[in-house]
Structure 1
Amino acid sequence: MKFDLLTFGRASIDLYSKNIGAEFNDIKLLSTAIGGSPVNISVGAQRLGLKTSIVTGVGNDPIGSFIINALQQEKVDVSHVNTIEGTTSTAVVCGIVPPDKFPLVFYRDKAPDNYLSIDMVNTIDFTHYRSFLMTGTALSVEPTRSAAIYATEKARAQGATIFLDIDFRANLWHDVRAFGVTLRQYLPLCDIIMGTEEELLAMGLTESDQVKIKDNAISSPTIEGDINAVIKQVLSSGVKLLLVKTGAKGVSAYYPDGRIENIPGFPVEVVNVLGAGDAFASGFIYGYLQNWDTYQSCRLANACGAWIVTRQGCSNYAPTYEEIIQFIKDKGGF
């Protein structure tokens, strides 16, 4: 079977607070969903109409079964979801206190996606995939880092478009400065890069104290640095396009020839920002693979992100193509 997109990286069960506005200590009820950027992007793109598959790991435990079953229910291919003995499937607990407090607690002791191997990559026939998405977190530890780079090389050799979602999670790196060191080495393998301004700044860190995390909001740190210098460095690596997400304002598309295209977003009332970037990636990849231009692809991406921030979860609330097109029409069109 031919697939439009293969994603690579972490998978988890996400436990979301159902008590919107409650501080973490006051959470009474939690809802369950599957998560992790590669999972959210695979599900989001599948719901839009692409055929997707994922390379990840789960433990030999009920949570691993939950993740696999949920992916199958979403019709995401699980041929390369590896059950890794001696590991424990990942869980994430998410608080929701709009408009700007979204604490995350990760449970990743012996996380299965940290044990993806080159041997596992060798079981993949990369001729079956039109595009390949890597996330920054997958590059944080060995042996997964080497497996991730090897998979990217193999996908690229078969002509797949290589997407990178920067996906900076400070708590998943032994030293936050290693994030930029590692990703800068990876950039020459990539075609299209996606990230927030903060994630771009994380790629240029020279001091650990440049990163500030408030209220355990790991997905939205405050980072000091020179954004223009980092953008210039990324564009000089050989990538075709850099997409810098700017929240409700939309996204700025940077091209190697110096062009900049600003694509507006869709202002909405925020309930939960978690997963918005993954929804953006799903939308952009869909448009790109349909040969839409950058503006239209980014408008769809912005709409998918806006849709998700009005919901309480991530992939479980991802829109279908019909739903998101109606959303765009209701808000003035492309």
Structure 2
Amino acid sequence: MKFDLITFGRASIDLYSKNIGAEFNDIQLLSTAIGGSPVNISVGAQRLGLKTSIVTAIGNDPVGGFIINTLQQERVDVSLINTIEGTTSTAVVCGIVPPDKFPLVFYRDKAPDNYITIDMVNTIDFAQHRSFLMTGTALSVEPTRSAAIYATEKARAKGTTIFLDIDFRANLWHDVRAFGVTLRQYLPLCDIVIGTEEELLAMGLTDSDQVKIKDSAISSPTIEGDINVVIKQILSSGVKLLLVKTGAKGVIAYYPDGKEESIPGFPVEVVNVLGAGDSFASGFIYGYLQNWGTYKSARLANACGAWIVTKQGCSNYAPTYDEIIQFIEDKGGF
């Protein structure tokens, strides 16, 4: 097989505050990076040693060129990135006010990755990919939703392992309750599901008032609900493994037979939580494809997430394999 991992979904230029601790109104300097969960995961996995590719779309503009150029520098395959005329490549502005304020502003008017089509998917040879990662945001609008489902069906037919990163962004859905409706229908196509406690709760929303977003922290909402109900629903859908990220505490692995396994994290001083979940996914997929088993793979994933929260960005700070193994050894090993 040519690639270890193919990811599907949004891509953007991310503008991070370089004034750590400054309120959003007081930001004076911004740094540039590429972003979007599929991008971050592809870059993170590539730096660890996997061969990765990404299905996304950009506009015919300099920002799209920046995204392509940066991915090429990271040696991520860009042959499946589509340029869509009449759209504008997207951007995200990120504030960093540790320990718990990380406001995000999305610029996604006519976002190119909302216009991925079934015809574009038909150009992909899924037999060349060992694993496929879908992100929840890719399921938010048509025509990309149908293209995403079709891509997953094609990948699954080739025996490819299907990962789902729940990736809940309330502002990217016309109705937050539609998020759960859509993802619950998608679950039977998945092998391994990854999400935070809040993202799982979002899958069970029945009232939009259950979601509270403070300080524009779109990636860290407060959501009311019964997480145990959602966990049972996910496990009954046919998935093989559910990984529930619990921040600094680590991750809990849930299996369909009722088994649970807690894998501890790595305590660090938090600078920026943005991108930690994507780094976690990169690490877990790497370990899984090495046949490490859930515990060791999740410890690597926890380490990758811990590494990123000490940095000022996402994929541009992703660790190499040697760096993260040294990090783990310095903190007691696997």
Displacement over 4 Å in runs of 4+: none
Partner of 1:110: 110
Question: Which residue of the partner structure matches residue 290 of structure 2?
Answer: 290
CA offset digits 1:228-278 (Å, max 9, x no partner): 000000000000000000000000000000000000000100000000000
Q: What secondary structure sits across from 2:286 in the alignment? A: helix
Deviation at 1:104, TM superposition (A): 0.1
1:295: how far off? 0.3
TM-score after normalising by structure 1: 1.00
1:290 to partner: Cα distance: 0.2
Shift in Å at residue 95 of structure 1?
Answer: 0.1
Match of 1:150 in 2: 150
- Matches of 2:19 and 2:64 in 1, distance apart? 26
Partner of 2:40: 40
- SS at structure 2 position matched to 1:79: coil
TM-score (norm 2): 1.00
Distance 1:188 1:293 in 2: 22
- The 5 Å alignment of 1:234-253 reads 234-253=234-253
For residues 25-53 of structure 1, the C-alpha deviation after alignment (integer angstroms, 9 at most, x for no partner) is: 00000000000000000000000000000
1:262-277 matches, cutoff 5 A: 262-277=262-277
CA distances 1:50-70 after superposition (whole Å, capped 9, x unpaired) = 000000000000000000000
- Distance in 1, matches of 2:82 and 2:162, equals 22
1:168, distance to aligned residue in structure 2 (A): 0.0
1:330 aligns with 2:333: no
Alignment correspondent of 2:187: 187
1:22 is matched with which residue?
22
Deviation at 1:124, TM superposition (A): 0.5
Q: Which amino acid aligns with 2:325?
A: I
Structure 2: unaligned runs, 5 residues or longer: none
Please give the secondary structure, in 2, of the residue aligned with 1:219: coil
The 1-side partners of 2:306 and 2:34 are apart by 20
Q: Which amino acid aligns with 1:71?
A: L
Q: Does 1:126 align with 2:118?
A: no
Residue identity opposite 2:277 in structure 1: G
Q: Distance in 1 between matches of 2:80 and 2:92?
A: 22
Write the distance in 2 (CA, Å) between the matches of 1:333 and 1:202.
34
Work out whether 1:178 is the aligned partner of 2:178. yes
User: Which residue of structure 2 lines up, in the alignment, with residue 303 of structure 1?
Assistant: 303
Q: Report matched runs for 1:304-323 at 5 Å.
A: 304-323=304-323
Cα separation, 1, equivalents of 2:72 and 2:105:
26
3-state SS of the aligned residue for 2:133? strand
| Amino acid of the structure 2 residue aligned with 1:237 | S
Question: What corresponds to 2:202 in structure 1?
Answer: 202
Identity %: 90
